[in-house]
A and B are shown apart, each in its own frame.
Chain A
Amino acid sequence: DGGITQSPKYLFRKEGQNVTLSCEQNLNHDAMYWYRQDPGQGLRLIYYSQIVNDFQKGDIAEGYSVSREKKESFPLTVTSAQKNPTAFYLCASSITDRWDQPQHFGDGTRLSIL
């Protein structure tokens, strides 16, 4: 079955450490997205990518970085510059030529500070 795989499910970060969250999709979607969800709040867009080797900042990109070297993969690095990284992170993907099609989401990664 096609879908989006996020790993790990749980991740812990030490002070001053960079951590990378993995997102892989086999839906053949061109566009991929990263969202952050804080308790009791909706999702906020961190970064998105419409095509390989290209990506744009979303609404809360500070302290995060991404890469898009392969169509299937869109890893998110939470850098030490992100002072409040504890949150639930969701990856999503979509096709780009059918506007009636929604985004598909992975199961998420919960990041906590040690």
Chain B
Amino acid sequence: AQTVTQSQPEMSVQEAETVTLSCTYDTSESDYYLFWYKQPPSRQMILVIRQEAYKQQNATENRFSVNFQKAAKSFSLKISDSQLGDAAMYFCAYRDIIQGAQKLVFGQGTRLTINP
């Protein structure tokens, strides 16, 4: 079974600095998707960024980018120019496709604090 591990339960960063959140996963599949979701105190799950395993280029969305190392099964999230609104729980997720439905496997999450 696929597993996702986030080894940093908590991280903190000064406003305007850069922070990297770690994620590793285990799978025997060759094609899959990886996601980072943000969960602010409102508890909404907000998609931050996605990466398809077949694409070698790392995904980027404005201040958010990933470092995807397929061989190492590593998928870290870099947040540049951190803002107070970035404070949230961040979840890494692996997606498999089962009979047309998506099965998401989540890591335990990393709580990110932004210090003003």
Question: B-contacting residues of A (Cβ < 8 Å)?
Answer: 30-31, 33, 40-45, 48-51, 56, 58, 88, 90, 92, 94, 96-97, 99-100, 102-103, 105, 107-108
Contacts and interface: CB of A to CB of B under 8 A. Distances in A.
B108 A41 contact: yes
B107 A96 contact: no
Nearest to A108: B43
B33 to A, nearest CB: 7
Interface residues of B, number: 26
A18 B108 CA distance: 29
B43 A88 contact: yes
Contacts of B97: 99
A107 B52 CA distance: 26
B107 to A, nearest CB: 5
B109 A48 contact: no
A49 B103 CA distance: 11
Contact of B33 (A40, A50, A88, A99): A99
Contacts of A43: 45, 91, 104, 106
Q: Which of B45, B93, B95, B103 has the most CB of A within 10 A?
A: B45
B89 to A, nearest CB: 9
Interface of B: 4, 9, 33, 35, 42-45, 47, 50, 52, 91, 93, 95, 97-104, 106-109
A60 to B, nearest CB: 12
Given A88-B43, A102-B50, A96 B106 contact: no
A42 B104 CA distance: 11
Nearest to A45: B103
User: 8 closest Cβ contacts across the A-B interface?
Assistant: A42-B106, A105-B45, A96-B100, A50-B101, A31-B101, A50-B100, A43-B106, A108-B43
Contacts of A94: 101-102
A42 B102 contact: no
Nearest to A54: B99
Contacts of B93: 42
